[in-house]
Chain A
Amino acid sequence: MADLRIDFAGIKSGNPFWLASGPPTNTGYQVQRAFEAGWGGAVWKTLGEPVINVTSRFSGMHYGSQRVAGFNNIELITDRPLEINLQEIEETKVNYPDHTIIASLMVEPKREKWHEIVKKVEAAGVDGLELNFGCPHGMAERGMGAASGQVPELVEKQTCWAKEAAETPVIVKLTPNITDITATAYAASQGGADAISMINTINSLMGVDLDTWNTIPNVAGKGTHGGYCGPAVKPIALSMVAECARDPDISVPISGIGGIENWRDAAEFMLMGASCVQICTAAMHHGFRIVEDLIDGLNNYLDSKGIASVMDLVGQSVPKYMSWGDLDLNHKRVARINLDQCIHCNKCYIACEDAAHQCIEWFVDAKGKRALKVREEDCVGCNLCSIVCPAEGAIHMIDQPGEFPMTWNERQHLIHTIGG
């Protein structure tokens, strides 16, 4: 059994799986159920001046027969008074002293407002604070959430204010609704953040009802943009984590959030630099018990790799992530079809023919049966055929012994030397 305990910016936790701030962490009842199920920590639903929510708040993006490939919400922060939340936090902390509770906070961008809330929640015994600079909907219209999270100066200043009052670690949760997340990540670290977490939800409109022409979801026939999350956003979140992890100017720990559903996703985020992960949509889709396989699967994975502590996983893939200009142009990879596994759906053929480099051809095999093969000299190794192939093992991408490496940056440098 590997050691799943983590130390995240000084916050100790039994495992790296925290419930992200959201509907599942709305009450003490829910958070205690989650801790009972095995979650290492929970980021309490964002505290602030209690809101009034609309009904019809969520919507799902279903893909084929798969429900909830993506998820969208227009729910705001907590709609319960601070005192009630703090009372429940205290009670939860008493009942589950070894579990991590982080308070997510959102107030107006004013120094005294931050001081006030930080002091109050710390008095309730939280293990850390997460500043919500991310929610893209509703709160942003009031100058909070993503509205302040999109301006690096505001991020830095508010982090500073929170830090002035805070005794526990301050995590800054970043919005993805920005061109370059490293700008706000850097601002947070300059403001004194002990850690950053990402991503919050992405601006989204889930759909339009083709019968009523209403937005999805709609409130009395009207709609607004929401925040998008769920499995579909994982690649976006992962790249943002990776960008921050590889940036030498951002040296604070990262909590990875965005589309994480299972231990595999979690391991990927950790390899890319996250030292803990937060999960919300998957718990909303399946309930808290998904944590069982998160723990068990990660444990077995670490054991199979001979890794003693999950912390040893953190950041291992970061050096492999770089700028396009540093990739090897001379690397040669080609597709090869394994006819033993091929089920003859011909999807690779039409994909290559219509959308790639027309290098998959028909031939008649020894038994007189029509089959497909790759004309390897014209294959650019794009992977499309292997992506569309539904038969496991029918198309392999083969790395070929190539010339010595040459990157784009090296090449351009060379050309300039010759030219000039």
Chain B
Amino acid sequence: MNASAATDLWKVFDEIHPDLKPKQVMEEANRCLFCFDAPCTKACPTGIDVPSFIRKIATGNLKGSARVIMEANPMGATCARVCPTEELCEGACVLGEASLPVMIGDLQKHATNWAMKNHPQLFEAGKPSGREIAIVGAGPAGLSAARQLARFGHQVTIYEKREKPGGLDTYGIVPFRLPQKVALWEADQVEQLGVMIKTGIAVGRDISADFIQTHFDAVMLAVGMADVPDLGIPGEELDGVFSALELIEKVKDGQVTDRFMGRTAIVVGAGNTAIDAATTLKRLGATRVQMIYRRTESEMTAYPAEYRFAKEDGITCSWLTQPKKVIGDTAGRVTGVECARMRLGKPDGSGRRRPIEIENSNFLLEADIFVKAIGQGRHTSLIDAFRLKHDHGIVSVDARTFQTSDPNVFAAGDVTFGNGSGEATVVAAAQQGKLAALAIHRQLMSRV
């Protein structure tokens, strides 16, 4: 591929949702009623004072506006783009019934865009407390906690195994929804408070869990989840089988390939990551992209807005379809997927109806690309290295103190989510990080 073709190809990964134009911003900001005890604020997992930040936009106080947002949510710029606003703040907007909800997400994007462009120092580090805290993982939960801890005056070191901070925000959400620079700006905001982010350091490989536990006053585990696990079906080793996260990570990092040009792809899974993978494949030139899911549309975990977006991209879905085997040719390249038809039975532990395979229903779907997007695995060995209690890689934490089975080790974010507890969203992770920081601070300051 020549250079200019690569540039053109990269354009399809530009952020899709346009910024509001200046006049739209003012009209929208002035539409906000400045509710008292506002339902939008209550609906925000991080409790952003929405009427306050919108009023500040209307008065031209953009620094103040950005500060209100980032105060409550250190991932405020990311969340402006990836939050399911129609289910949260905008869904709660009182104007929803009377006319149309205020475009809160877009206004939040406007204010944080201003901050990204103008680089104001939004927060200051607190008076040094003399306490040192290690955080493992520089994703939303870790960065959020680090930001708060630094403001309390603690010295924070984050160990991040990847080359860049930001976790899933940097690597796992497609750039046309969330450009990488947004996540990196948020990380930079945290670093400006004196937080040390040591990237490329994997705990358990480059540094031991024991070292961290002995050298810091407190440790916080915020390692999130691991890569997409194997399906455990034959043919997963074939050429043409990918993990959704691996695919997204490449484009997020600016690596564009013509590997998918003209291909027929199947994505297994029906979450936001599955949709991200499917829409990425389309942008990389795949002719046909089909998502397959063993349940139905009503059980899919992707946000309705994301699903709509996928449909607009021409992505089709095959419900009640379970892959049984990836089929390859003699050269070891994927040629199709053998699937089975499912039906829904009684609800299972997750509250969703359990899919049951229909006997002798196997059929073949032709494809040369097969992408796995069936959720994420767990960092069980790392958790074991810290000798923490966990349930299949989900660390057990006290809901109030965020302490794990080791009272000096705290945990927040996706590493604690699962089995029906918490929701794996950026906004939830940011809030957990914030609350965990407060818990750690209280714990440290209560020690004599």
Contact = CB atoms under 8 A, between A and B. Distances in A.
A98 B27 CA distance: 44
Interface string B26-48: 11001101111111000000000
B36 A344 contact: no
A347 B98 contact: no
Contact of A347 (B33, B39, B95): B33
Nearest to A390: B33
B89 to A, nearest CB: 14
A345 B35 contact: yes
Most buried by A among B38, B97, B98: B98
Contacts, number: 34
A349 interface: yes
Contacts of A346: 35-38
Contacts of A65: 26-27, 30-31
A396 B289 CA distance: 57
Interface size band for B: 10 to 19
A345 B26 contact: no
B58 interface: yes
A178 interface: no
Interface SS of chain A = loop
B36 A350 contact: yes
A260 to B, nearest CB: 25
A256 to B, nearest CB: 31
B364 interface: no
Nearest to A346: B36
A343 interface: yes
A64 interface: yes
A350 B30 CA distance: 19
A391 interface: yes
A343 B36 contact: no
A346 B98 CA distance: 15
Nearest to A63: B30
B29 to A, nearest CB: 8
B94 A64 contact: no
Given A64-B58, A350-B36, A345 B94 contact: yes
B295 to A, nearest CB: 32
Interface string A316-355: 0000000000000000000000000001111101100000
B36 A349 contact: yes
A355 B35 CA distance: 16
Nearest to A210: B60
Contacts of B33: 345, 347, 390
Interface of A: 64-65, 343-347, 349-350, 390-391
Interface of B: 26-27, 30-31, 33-39, 58, 94-95, 97-98
Nearest 9 pairs of A and B residues by beta carbon = A350-B36, A64-B30, A346-B36, A345-B35, A343-B94, A65-B30, A65-B27, A345-B94, A345-B33
10 contacts: A64-B26, A64-B58, A65-B26, A65-B31, A343-B98, A344-B35, A344-B39, A346-B35, A349-B37, A390-B33
Given A346-B35, A347-B34, 11 more contacts: A65-B30, A65-B31, A343-B97, A344-B39, A345-B33, A346-B36, A347-B36, A349-B36, A390-B33, A390-B98, A391-B98
